[in-house]
Amino acid sequence: MKRIALKGAATVAALLFWVLLWHLVAEKVDLSLVLPAPLEVLERLGDLIRTAEFYEIMGTSLLRVTSGYLAGVFSGVLLGFLAFRIPLFKALVSPMMGVIRATPVASFILVVLLWIHRDGIPGFISFLMVLPIVWQNTLLGFERRDGRLSEMAKVFRFGKLKTLIRVDLPQVLPFVFSSAKAGMGLAWKAGVAAEVLALPKVSIGQMIYNSKMYLETVDLYAWTLAIILISVALEKLVFFLFSRKRGGISVEA
Amino acid sequence: MKLKNVKKAYNVPVIKGFSYDFPTKGLFLIRGKSGAGKTTLLRIIAGLEKPDSGKVCLNGEVISVVFQEDRLLPFLTLKENVLIAKKHRDEGKAMALLEKFGLKDAAKQYPAELSGGMRLRGAIVRSLYYGGDVYLWDEPTKELDPENRALVIETIKELSKSALVITVTHDAELTGGIEIELE
């Protein structure tokens, strides 16, 4: 308990250090257009969160990104399982996943702009960011199962479905959860980047774009701060949902 | 159950033509030096490995195994590890067996929270709960204290009155069965 409190205090102290540094630099620059002061940004964020529009924008963006994220996790698990079961499928899909991982997000966004409606782009980009990570980890999880437990299942005649559900999946899930956690922050950041380029109606990306266009730097910082806070909250939520200890084994791989 | 001229090699021959006509009940103690193929023989009977040549003739016997390692599922409690072995759960039977082997209080604990001896006893309980016509137990007294060792030996002897028990063992106290020496 004491260790946790100390760790928390250290985090807060580090955060305060950087905010103080930001404040000092902003004071030195003395031009909000270039670098607004932290207090100014906080005040603007305070103004924003008192409007209904803020929640509508945040909610809409979150819905887009989350739907893409969930589709990515689900598809990644399914394709990872199929890749494990069918070597030919693995050989077929592996290069495609490699290409998705290696392609810059901006390139994808611009390419996808030509294919689908702009409202669907952030979700699709989030989906693409999460899919290869979850796919690879799911496959890895299946490949690293304990063969001795599979033998145990065989001699006690578990059958294929029971072996999959009761023996294999509990061993694979830590890998899936680990990638799902890593993918959340990535999906959110890539999703917002997609919004900035695709400019769907009612989106954080559009607000950021407008801030840049009209040189409203304080707004840009306030929206960015909101994105960071949401990102931290989402990662904590995913961490809370996926990190549980069972049998002394952390499902956090 | 019959084994006809079973051979198995891993680079070097391990089982060099093993034949035996096992009865439907009784105790068989497989002994031999390290690397003599004792565990391999049990694995072949259990269907986990195929012999290079020869035959294992089974007549639909249900085989129940205790591996050299406990092979308990780490994400299930000890009680769940026992119950999962059978399609139809019988909590009363599982708890009675756990109690017999001094594991009643450990029923809700996970394998990682148990000692090696407790985990081995858990694996023995799982095998007994599953039941069967043939029991293949690989060094079932290895990590046990004298009291529990005596209990397991007594259980093996009792079991062999109604089923076929084939045990790989180095335990000098485990006697009273037909000795099979592998070279």
CA A64/CA A123 separation, integer angstroms: 5
**For position B34, what pLDDT does the model report?**
86
Name the pLDDT band for B43 (thresholds 50, 70, 90).
very high
B151: distance to nearest CA of chain A, Å? 24
B71-100: pLDDT as tens digits:
999 999 999 999 999 999 999 999 999 999
The pLDDT, as a whole number, for residue A244 is: 58
Most confident of A233-237, A239-243, B85-89: B85-89
**Tens of pLDDT, residues A157-175:** 999 999 999 999 999 999 9
pLDDT band (50, 70, 90) for residue A1:
low
Q: Which two tokens stand for residue A43?
A: 């005040």
Maximum pairwise Cα distance, chain B: 48
Which pLDDT does position A3 carry in this prediction?
77
As beta bridge partners, residue B164 has B26, B134
B47: alpha, beta or left, given left = phi > 0 and alpha = psi -120 to 50?
left
Name the domain count of chain B. Answer: 1
> What does the pLDDT average to over A94-118?
91
Measure B93 CA to nearest chain A CA, in Å.
Answer: 17
Distance CA B55, CA B15 (A): 13
Question: How confident is the model over A172-223, as pLDDT tens digits?
Answer: 999 999 999 889 889 999 999 999 999 998 899 999 999 988 889 999 999 9
Q: Helix (H, G, I), strand (E, B), or coil: what is residue B123?
A: helix
Whether residue B48 and residue A151 make contact (CB cut-off 8 A), yes or no, is yes
Where do the domains of chain A lie? 1-30, 34-250
| Chain segment B145-176, per-residue pLDDT in tens | 999 999 999 999 999 999 999 999 998 888 88
Decide if the complex's ipTM is over 0.90.
yes
Residue of B45, B70, B71, B80 for testing the chain A interface, max A β-carbons within 10 Å: B71
In degrees rounded to 5, what are phi and psi of residue B60? 75, 20
Q: What angle do CA B77, B81, B84 make, to 5 degrees?
A: 130
A144–B contact, CB cutoff 8 A: no
Q: Please report the pLDDT score of residue A248 as a whole number.
A: 43
Q: Chain B residues within 8 A (CB-CB) of chain A?
A: 46-48, 63-65, 67, 69, 71, 73-77, 84-86, 110-113, 126, 130
Please indicate whether, in this complex, the C-beta atoms of B48 and A246 are within 8 angstroms of each other. Answer: no
- Exposure class string for B5-31: b at 16+ Cβ within 10 A, else e: ebbbeeeeebbeebeeebeeeebbbbb
Task: Give DSSP secondary structure letters for chain A.
Answer: -HHHHHHHHHHHHHHHHHHHHHHHHHHHH--TTT---HHHHHHHHHHHTTSHHHHHHHHHHHHHHHHHHHHHHHHHHHHHHHHHH-HHHHHHHHHHHHHHHHS-HHHHHHHHHTTS-GGGHHHHHHHHHHHHHHHHHHHHHHHTS-HHHHHHHHHTT--HHHIIIIIIHHHHHHHHHHHHHHHHHHHHHHHHHHHHHH--SS-HHHHHHHHHHTT-HHHHHHHHHHHHHHHHHHHHHHHHHH--EETTEES--
Q: Which of residues B62 and A235 earns the better pLDDT score?
A: B62
> Which residues does chain B have within 8 Å of residue A167's beta carbon, measured at their own beta carbons?
73
Q: Do B75 and A151 touch (CB under 8 A)?
A: no
The CATH number given to whatever domain includes residue B160 is: 3.40.50.300
Residue A5 CB burial class (10 angstroms; 0-12, 13-18, ≥19): exposed
How many C-beta neighbours within 10 Å does residue B65 have? 26
Spell out which residues of chain A touch residue B65, defining contact as CB-CB under 8 Å: 152, 155-156
- The crossing angle, in degrees rounded to 10, of helices A121-143 and A52-85 is 40
For residue B98, what pLDDT is reported?
97
Chain B residues closer than 8 Å to A246 by CB: 75, 110
pLDDT digits (tens, 9 = 90+) for A18-61: 999 999 999 998 888 889 999 999 999 999 999 999 999 999 99
What number is the average pLDDT over the span B32-45? 92
Q: Does A39 touch chain B (CB under 8 A)?
A: no
Q: Determine the pLDDT at residue A253.
A: 34
pLDDT value at residue A8: 83
Domain containing B17 equals 2-182
Task: Name which of B63, B76, B130 is nearest A247 (Cβ-Cβ).
Answer: B76
Q: Chain B: nearest CA to A176, how far in angstroms?
A: 16
On the question of pLDDT at A246 being above 90, the answer is no
Spatial strand order of the sheet with B53-57 comes to B12-21, B2-10, B53-57
C-alpha–C-alpha distance, residues A147 and B71, integer Å: 10
Both tokens assigned to A240: 């809370």
Give B182 or A98, the one with higher predicted confidence. A98
Helix residue ranges, H only, B7-130: 38-46, 78-83, 91-100, 116-130
Q: Residue A250's pLDDT is what? A: 45
- Give me the percent of chain B exceeding a pLDDT of 70: 100
- Pick from A149, A167, A247: CB nearest B110: A247
Task: Indicate yes or no: CB of A152 within 8 angstroms of CB of B67.
Answer: yes
Contact indicator for A130, A76 with CB cutoff of 8 Å: yes
For the ranges A10-19, A130-139, B91-100, B120-129, the lowest mean pLDDT is seen at A10-19
Q: Which fold has domain A34-250?
A: MetI-like fold (1.10.3720)
Tell me if B63 and A149 make a contact (CB, 8 A cut-off).
Answer: no
| Option in A148, A151, A247 nearest B112 (CB) | A247
Minimal Cβ distance to A156: which of B76, B111, B130: B130
